[in-house]
Amino acid sequence: MGPRKEAYGMARSMTRDLTEGKPLKLVVSFALPLLFGVLFQQFYSFVDTAVVGRFLGPDKLAAVGATGSVNFLIIGMCLGLCSGFAIPVAQAFGAKDEGEVRRCVWHSVILSAVLSAVFALAAVLLCRPLLRLMNTPEEILDSSARYIGIIFAAIPCCVLYNMAGGILRSLGDSRTPVVFLVIASLVNIALDLFLIIACGMDVAGAALATAVSQLISGIGCVIVMIRRFPILRLRREDRVFDRRLARRMLCIGLPMGLQFSITAIGSVMLQWSVNGLGVNAVAAISAAVKLSAFFACVFDALSSTMATFAGQNMGARKLDRVGQGLRSASVLGIVYCLLAFAVVALFSRSLLSLFIDPAAAPEVASMASRFLLINAAFYIPLLFVNIVRLSIQGMGFTRIAMLAGLFEMIARTAVALFVVPAAGFTGACFASPAAWVLADLFLFPCYFRVMRSLRERLMPQTDAQPAPRRKVLSLRRAA
């Protein structure tokens, strides 16, 4: 066996090839470590919220919650870029092109470093004006600005973990990012308790704990990438900056980042509308969103699985397997949605008591329970937004996914401008469900059109003469 094939074989022995084997089994086995990771991530997010809500009170909880949409606006852009940069890595790995894998990884590092520094500087300077623009109540404005300012300053830490984790997942390794996420979660919990309770750092302690934990998880993933994966050990020729490759990766990453930000604009508009309803409404949605994020962990795991599954099989030109994987994820997700709704319907008030003392704030607890129940009734549309969109992204059609984000923004903005003023808090409860349904109405036809187009482009080549497996499909042409 030659050195090239030997190195490739070593890399694959540490990762997972999603282009061979039963899709259902692969989806389950790949998604389980991801699910454990996002569950643990939500667990330490729970601790953040619980410590702030229980020890600092509803006003501080509202201050942190009021930053959620602007946080999503900026951080979402960064996360989208990292996810987009990982797509060419997955496709190159599926096509068994080691050199392309290394070149994509190098350009991902360079682009992520530059863009994260620019975003961090701009976000820190603009955080207070953005909060004022969102109609943040004056009594929580200072606390909100202090919290989100630290989060924004630590954007490079967030990008480091998500870039490294995205690359590892693209190679089929869904476990390593989870291991370091668990370690970081434990660190975050310990720092939360120490900085807020022992040191009295207020909401700044929660933000600092998050930043430090992200840095630890990112450094851990990078160390594993360097030590365990020979395929990622860069050679001199891999470190040559290629403008064409950089442009191609930006053409994938920027639409994905814009998709998050466009979606977040609708969330910003909704937050602006909810802020006008008072501190109780802000606190209720803050608590309900935190708990809802816990139930959405399965959707996050399945969507990340489908991005890698679709990316690798696209690189291997196995389109039928993309559809099979999507069907498997759909069946698993629908069963979960029904179970999740039953749990929410029966135990929402008990679960929300982790963040809100019902005796001290009965109105906030009642509003949060209503928000959670209405959203849970629409978990199936949320499932399809995640897995269909990420399947399309994994195949390289990131502009379509960005347009889906545009539909989500339109729905949330419409609810914020017209429904919330008329129906109050109950109207706000239907903002996200409306966004999910409208996005699905766009995504499903697009998915079938994409698959039909790819079959027409690739199948004639397969019938006449097998296409070379090592050549990656041009993403610029595909998108």
Taking the C-alpha atoms of residue 128 and residue 112, their distance in angstroms, rounded to an integer, is 25
Taking the C-alpha atoms of residue 343 and residue 181, their distance in angstroms, rounded to an integer, is 27
Residue 100 near residue 92, CB atoms below 8 Å: yes
| Confidence (pTM) | 0.70
Stated length of the chain: 479
CA triple 178-259-430, angle to 5 deg? 90
Question: How many other CB atoms are there within 10 angstroms of residue 12's CB atom?
Answer: 15
468 occurs within a structural domain: no
Residue 361 near residue 286, CB atoms below 8 Å: no
Task: Provide the pLDDT for residue 460.
Answer: 53
226 occurs within a structural domain: yes
| Tens digits of pLDDT across the chain (479 residues) | 444 444 444 444 455 677 788 888 888 888 888 787 777 767 766 666 677 776 777 777 777 777 777 777 788 788 888 888 888 888 888 778 888 888 888 988 899 999 999 999 998 998 888 888 877 778 888 888 888 899 899 999 989 988 988 888 888 787 888 888 888 888 888 888 888 888 878 888 888 988 898 899 889 888 888 888 887 877 877 788 888 888 888 888 887 787 777 777 777 778 788 878 888 888 888 788 878 888 888 998 898 889 889 888 888 888 889 999 999 999 999 999 999 999 999 988 888 877 676 766 788 888 989 999 999 999 999 999 999 998 998 887 877 877 888 898 899 989 988 999 888 899 999 999 999 999 999 999 999 999 998 888 876 544 444 444 444 444 334 44
4 occurs within a structural domain: no
15 occurs within a structural domain: no
Task: Provide the pLDDT for residue 464.
Answer: 43
Residue 47 near residue 192, CB atoms below 8 Å: yes
Taking the C-alpha atoms of residue 10 and residue 14, their distance in angstroms, rounded to an integer, is 7
6 occurs within a structural domain: no
* Amino acid type, 64: V
Taking the C-alpha atoms of residue 440 and residue 407, their distance in angstroms, rounded to an integer, is 9
User: Residue 474 region, left (φ>0) first, then alpha (ψ -120 to 50), else beta?
Assistant: beta
Taking the C-alpha atoms of residue 306 and residue 388, their distance in angstroms, rounded to an integer, is 8
Residue 170 near residue 93, CB atoms below 8 Å: yes
Nearest to 228 by CA among 1, 5, 15, 2: 15
Indicate the number of domains in the chain: 1
* Amino acid type, 172: G
Domain that holds residue 301: 21-457
Taking the C-alpha atoms of residue 187 and residue 40, their distance in angstroms, rounded to an integer, is 12
Helix (H) or strand (E) holding 16: none
464 occurs within a structural domain: no
Taking the C-alpha atoms of residue 363 and residue 227, their distance in angstroms, rounded to an integer, is 54
Write down the residue that tokens 């950089």 correspond to: 246
DSSP state letters, 369-394: HHHHHHHHTTHHHHHHHHHHHHHHHH
163 occurs within a structural domain: yes
Taking the C-alpha atoms of residue 80 and residue 289, their distance in angstroms, rounded to an integer, is 21
Helix (H) or strand (E) holding 54: none
Nearest to 416 by CA among 308, 285, 276: 276
Task: Provide the pLDDT for residue 468.
Answer: 46
Residue 249 near residue 104, CB atoms below 8 Å: yes
| Beta strands, E only, 153-296 | none
Task: Provide the pLDDT for residue 130.
Answer: 84
Residue 355 near residue 49, CB atoms below 8 Å: yes
Write down the residue that tokens 């389109």 correspond to: 319
Nearest to 47 by CA among 24, 28, 64, 33: 64
16 occurs within a structural domain: no
Cα Rg of the chain (Å, integer):
22
Residue 139 near residue 279, CB atoms below 8 Å: yes
Residue 333 near residue 298, CB atoms below 8 Å: yes
Task: Provide the pLDDT for residue 3.
Answer: 41
Task: Provide the pLDDT for residue 52.
Answer: 76
* Amino acid type, 479: A
Taking the C-alpha atoms of residue 157 and residue 98, their distance in angstroms, rounded to an integer, is 28
Helix (H) or strand (E) holding 148: helix 138-153
DSSP state letters, 326-344: HHHHHHHHHHHHHHHHHHH
